[in-house]
Chains A and B, each alone.
Chain A
């Protein structure tokens, strides 16, 4: 059977959509001060921000895996209104403007926040302005991407494999680690990649909740924003570095990604 021909209108709209992505990218690449790029890469501000960005985004992804997979399992088990409410709450950080998320984090974990005030009074711990705050902000914004992907994976899972394992005498944890998790691997993988990418690009919630200080809370997106005002060339170079890292990851994971979604 011959495939129906795609109408020209769809091709045209697709091309326009692609241009919207490609033109800013082209601008970045064409205007990049290539001769200075290596120098910027050696700049301590750049390396510190890059190191912090990689550390905090990986830690955020790790926390999201530990907390997000159980959350997705609960979500996949519930039905009806409860499920809708839980799901809406989980995806809230995706629709919330990140700056608003940062304010909400301050009101919860700040020195005068709901939980933060207890921490401060009991132990003298202040979360804002620390690397921990940057990690929390990134986890808050990025974890929903992992939860949604894993939940979708759980819903399409063939539960007969788990039942078979159980009928053969495997306990809950054995079934979970030997059957459920391996079956979920593509979903967990794609969710973790999305989560990590979102955490790496996080700006609004981080600067609101964690502030900006080199080596402590100044991640690459924040360094780019500040450099744009004073050293535009450095900002473009930093953006390119982040772009190269992101593209490398996305291209490397593409096959698994498409397979899972």
Chain B
């Protein structure tokens, strides 16, 4: 073959290949997670559905959905039922471990005003770290027994840490790491997957039916749903953490609850917190 023809063919092949690549990357977009677009769409869905609710009010859950409930909440907030847990949390947080160290030694900025950064993706470990997990790790690293994830001390500690971040916008980061994206997607998948005897997904209630009632309870919107945790629930007559809420929500929809801080729950927390970025931390909170 003549050199010129070869070169022309080669060049044409190269050009075709380049075009094919460009075309491929344009088409491949749907398969690649896009958290930024997700978060935008998530917020738009709720603000469109509830045009009268201010963005920052979504963190008040069912109270942002119903006037009668809002009044009851306002009354409780005058002197909230989580006061005692919050005070206990502050005291616990400042008390040194047996080895002399404190929680402040485990966290950036001494643990004050950082709650809005949790959960985060730990690139060294390759997994999502939640605030509750970090607290127990801190305890164990300092020779103390871990606390139950669902209530009591864990609720008090996270209540205090949330309180020091009150008003700060949720600020979850997804590093440019495929494992972080995978955790995010895992959480998203959990959120939208139906499960259990009632065949509900988290979205069935909190995306499809916020403001409506399930039996007698008014449903909270998923947007900002974690921002008020930990919460004092009248139903529990006590405090509960994010872990507690995930576990009991699974039980109540008659799905098998997972262990607190299991992979799916941590990833779920990661996803839900991320799509609520920008909304203020309001914890600790009170709920029906």
A in complex with B: no
Interface residues of B (CB under 8 A from A): none
Residues of chain A having any CB pair with chain B under 8 Å: none
